[in-house]
Structure 1
Amino acid sequence: MSDAISVQPVVMAGGSGTRLWPLSRGQYPKQFLTLSGEHSLFQQALIRLRDLKAPGLSVRAPLVVGSDDHRFLMQDQVSAAQLSAPTLLLEPVGRNTAAALTLAALQAASDDADPVLVVSPADQTVADPAAFVAALRRAAAWAAEGAIVVIGVKPQRPETGFGYIRLDTSDDRSRVAEFVEKPDAPTAARYVESGDYFWNAGLFVVRASDWLRAIESFRPDIAAATKAAWIARRADGPFIRPDRALFEAIPSESVDYAVMEKCPKTKMDIRMVGLDAGWSDLGAWDAVWQQQGKDAAGNVVDGDAIIEDCRGTLVHATSRLVSVVGVDNLVVVETPDAILVTDRSRSQDVRKVVARLEGDSRTEHTLHRRVHRPWGWYDSVDAGPRFQVKRILVKPGATLSLQMHHHRAEHWIVVSGTAEVTCGESKRLLTENQSTYIPLGETHRLANPGSIPLEIIEVQSGSYLGEDDIVRFEDSYGRAK
């Protein structure tokens, strides 16, 4: 295996997926959703890259570049899919894909290696994984020879939501002549008809050193700022944390704007491998409708829903029965705290709703009613003046922080499992149907010492019930101040 090409899988797991609201939220964006099958889009990306291994290719453990806010969510999904533990490069703030790829290249080359980076976004789906892997293997061979390779998707329709890649028709139809921005509808139709244009899938294959030279050539400011933040990094178990202040100073730019669009005008070897594998970026609800199995009238139903006399409509029901009668080409998405209804052709505009929520200082664009935490999750079941009811699940062996609240007391009722409750100086075990009371201002902690999930009902009462009324003294997840 001494002559094998060393391949470094890189998964870009940042992004907020605003166009798939209300299923996608800031704290649980679309890459972590399971929209079909048994794996999330993030898990699917890791599985596809894992399967790159072949004679002549040596595949390293993956690198994941993602948000610090999602670190435990990424860990949980890796564990749930029984995947090899990746190195997690945590961005303290979003600075777009040019910085993310530069961060990955620096990390991949940190052991004096120079692997071929196979870079995939975490929020895409592929109907034919074998064809996808074959295309990436071909791209890796070219990248090992010094080329920067992009994956171009054979267009299935005129699409105004994607950038395009134009091939140079004067040679072997592998060299890139031009990267084109998102076109209008007539222009997109001409692109598809010509056969010379492919969708830009955001998939890149390039040797680490070649990427670093390219970013230093075209955007030395991004290269220098990212390197400074990476040099000042600190390791925290599987987490690599660039320096926050230095990372915030990095200009925000995409890979395409920073480098790729400039490359065809130089002597750099820029190539494209075509992909025909049922690829989708699931960028909006219309794309989800296109990818899913449909009934005879073109409807897609997910969850508890009844559709009567409808055509071309998508209904996604999460927590209750949804009935839709006599409508065409709609998207209806129900979650416990928000419902979306939109014409399917306007699904790109869902981002405007998210912008309104953010502008109005609401929380529905960021948090679901069920909020995931490193120890499990809680679901806000009910709330009113001076009270709130939560359903809480604690994973086996997990422990919440040692904490106290200034403005609320809490009542805990064990529904299933075993709870270890610390309250002041006392510690005791509670089992099913037993309860306890945590007075306002008392130091306390909840833990699950058992081998099955612990579920409790928590009733909070007091003058202020916000999540920021927590003083942490000890925490297993590095959140204590």
Structure 2
Amino acid sequence: MHEPLITPVILCGGSGTRLWPLSRKSFPKQFVPLLGQKSLLQLTLERVAHLGDSVLAVAAEEHRFMVCDDMASAEVPGVLLLEPVARNTAAAMALAALQVAGDVLLLFCPADHHIPDVDGFTRTIRSGRAAALSGALVTFGIVPSFPSTAYGYIQQGASRGADGSFRASRFIEKPDGELARQLLLAGDNLWNAGIFLCRADALLTALQQHAPDILAVCREAMRAAKSEVAPGGYTFIRPEAETFAACRSQSIDYAVMERHNDVAVVPFAGQWSDVGSWNAVADLLPADAEGNRVGGQGLAHASHNTFIHAPHRPVVALGTENLLIVDTPDAVLVAHRDRAEQVREVVARLEASQCIQAVTHRKVARPWGWYDSLDVGEGFQVKRIGVKAGASLSLQKHLHRAEHWVVVKGSAEVTCGERVFLLEANQSTYIPIGEVHRLHNPGMEELEIIEIQSGNYLGEDDIVRLQDTYGRVSA
């Protein structure tokens, strides 16, 4: 008898503002290569890929191509459910359950967790399968290693049998320090990891019982959903936007789990982190004799308990103590370790003051590749642009700027008005204001160019798209 397949559902929402300036709304932490060369999303996809035939990702519309890139890197086939607006985990999970329906087993995983013990994780998930098949909503709790105040807790009740699952007695909100110590000493409380396993129909039944308004809106939005096959063979499913926007925003814990009478919990004793703050990131690195944790080109001298993230240039901490130092090309964070949870408040202030670095990196991902804004001044802007093998920018024109292109790597096929021609490394061309043009990479390696823009307006919205592979035609 074959074991039933599990369909992993990766929840890719979240703005990741607590990890600013590395994580920003336009490029949240799940897409950032925090640990080595792979993003947290790619690592999550690789961790769950063998559990089923394909993956279902629930993501924001603006992040769809970044999700596709990570799915391609992980060599995982799948479907993307694209939320027009964020409405928290209850709605996201409802959309996924409506998409697959029936008694399919769904494993809901956040995209931004760090779980290095893949084999142990897989065994834990499989030990919850029997309870999920019986109709229970199964959650997974982390055996706590210290009295954390950053996580919610699940009290582990009586055993449900030989499968290793237990009854979830109660859910406990993030405690203060004293309560966290009591919960740890009691020995029957687990950190709430936000990972769930259940049958699709069981989840829909629970939503109907406890949050019928959320389910009704999601059902209506999915009834009018539109489907599109995207470049790379991935399918985009778009719930009807206006309907879905009216959905109430609530977490699955509040909406269902804390109120349902058939919730099981399975303990996981392996290493786990939700990578929810810079302290959590720091704890993933080895410490020196003074408790300093340094990544990249950082140097801690005569310092204690200092974390440095410095991937781009030397960053020196001299005589510091209990600091978090995070360096990026266009913003730097220096914070006391006790204030790590307040980073999101700083981001809110920056955003309120219309500081572009609050939400956008200097280097911006695009479906065709990326661009990096190197310099900007009165009447000019300089960008470094990378185009993936075989990819093209839209056929477009600009009403307020001209552009000079210099190829620095690879081959460029340039459309400029009626002409189509090739440029190789160290060759250049000029695109006049108002001229219809396109940049295409015909090669097998990434194309890189330097683009110098000149004109009286250089905003990103000065683009009239005439043809586009990615559905962004504007004229």
TM-score range normalised by the length of the shorter chain: over 0.9
**Alpha-carbon deviation of 1:339?**
0.2
Match of 1:40 in 2: 39
Give the counterpart of 2:166 among 170, 174, 179.
Answer: 174
Match of 1:340 in 2: 333
Superposed CA deviations along residues 189-231 of structure 1, whole A, max 9, x for unmatched, are 1111111211100001111000000011111100000011111
Give the counterpart of 1:122 among 89, 95, 111.
Answer: 111
Q: What CA distance in whole angstroms lies between the structure 2 residues aligned with 1:24 and 1:242?
A: 27
Partner AA of 2:266 in structure 1: V
Residue pair 2:45, 2:76 contacting (<8 A) in 1 also: no
Residue 155 (structure 1) aligned with residue 144 (structure 2): yes
Residue pair 1:118, 1:140 contacting (<8 A) in 2 also: no
The aligned runs of 1:28-427 (5 Å cut-off) are 28-52=27-51, 59-81=52-74, 83-109=75-101, 113-168=102-157, 174-237=166-229, 238-263=235-260, 268-427=261-420
- Judge which range, 371-380 or 306-315, deviates more: 306-315
Match of 1:15 in 2: 14
Match of 2:232 in 1: none
**Alpha-carbon deviation of 1:170?**
8.8
Match of 1:432 in 2: 425
**Alpha-carbon deviation of 1:161?**
1.3
Give the counterpart of 1:443 among 413, 432, 436.
Answer: 436
The aligned runs of 1:470-481 (5 Å cut-off) are 470-481=463-474
- Judge which range, 40-49 or 383-392, deviates more: 40-49
- Judge which range, 306-315 or 377-386, deviates more: 306-315
What is the TM-score when the length of structure 1 is the normalising length? 0.94
Q: What CA distance in whole angstroms lies between the structure 2 residues aligned with 1:229 and 1:365?
A: 32
Q: What CA distance in whole angstroms lies between the structure 2 residues aligned with 1:362 and 1:216?
A: 43
Residue pair 2:16, 2:29 contacting (<8 A) in 1 also: yes
- Judge which range, 295-304 or 229-238, deviates more: 295-304
Residue pair 1:117, 1:207 contacting (<8 A) in 2 also: yes
Match of 2:26 in 1: 27
**Alpha-carbon deviation of 1:477?**
0.6
Superposed CA deviations along residues 392-445 of structure 1, whole A, max 9, x for unmatched, are 111111100011111111111111211111111111111111111111111111
Superposed CA deviations along residues 249-273 of structure 1, whole A, max 9, x for unmatched, are 111110011111112xxxx321110
Q: What CA distance in whole angstroms lies between the structure 2 residues aligned with 1:417 and 1:291?
A: 37
Partner AA of 1:410 in structure 2: E
Q: What CA distance in whole angstroms lies between the structure 2 residues aligned with 1:155 and 1:307?
A: 30
* SS, match of residue 279 in structure 1: coil
Change (3 A) 1:218 1:467: same
Matched residue count: 466
Change (3 A) 1:441 1:269: same
**Alpha-carbon deviation of 1:296?**
2.0
* SS, match of residue 437 in structure 1: strand
Q: What CA distance in whole angstroms lies between the structure 1 residues aligned with 2:450 and 2:228?
A: 33
**Alpha-carbon deviation of 1:66?**
0.7
Partner AA of 1:435 in structure 2: S
Match of 1:55 in 2: none
Residue pair 2:153, 2:172 contacting (<8 A) in 1 also: yes
**Alpha-carbon deviation of 1:479?**
0.7
Residue pair 1:302, 1:317 contacting (<8 A) in 2 also: yes
Q: What CA distance in whole angstroms lies between the structure 2 residues aligned with 1:213 and 1:6?
A: 21
* SS, match of residue 358 in structure 2: coil
Unaligned runs of 5+ in 1: 53-58
Unaligned runs of 5+ in 2: 230-234
Partner AA of 2:125 in structure 1: L
Q: What CA distance in whole angstroms lies between the structure 1 residues aligned with 2:54 and 2:223?
A: 21
Residue pair 1:164, 1:199 contacting (<8 A) in 2 also: yes
Residue pair 1:299, 1:313 contacting (<8 A) in 2 also: yes
- Judge which range, 422-431 or 469-478, deviates more: 422-431
Superposed CA deviations along residues 152-172 of structure 1, whole A, max 9, x for unmatched, are 111111111111111225987
Change (3 A) 1:323 1:74: same
Residue pair 1:9, 1:60 contacting (<8 A) in 2 also: no
Q: What CA distance in whole angstroms lies between the structure 2 residues aligned with 1:295 and 1:167?
A: 36
CA RMSD of aligned residues (A): 1.4
Partner AA of 1:216 in structure 2: Q
Q: What CA distance in whole angstroms lies between the structure 1 residues aligned with 2:348 and 2:380?
A: 30
* SS, match of residue 246 in structure 1: helix
What is the TM-score when the length of structure 2 is the normalising length? 0.96
* SS, match of residue 152 in structure 1: strand
Q: What CA distance in whole angstroms lies between the structure 2 residues aligned with 1:171 and 1:456?
A: 61
Change (3 A) 1:335 1:170: closer
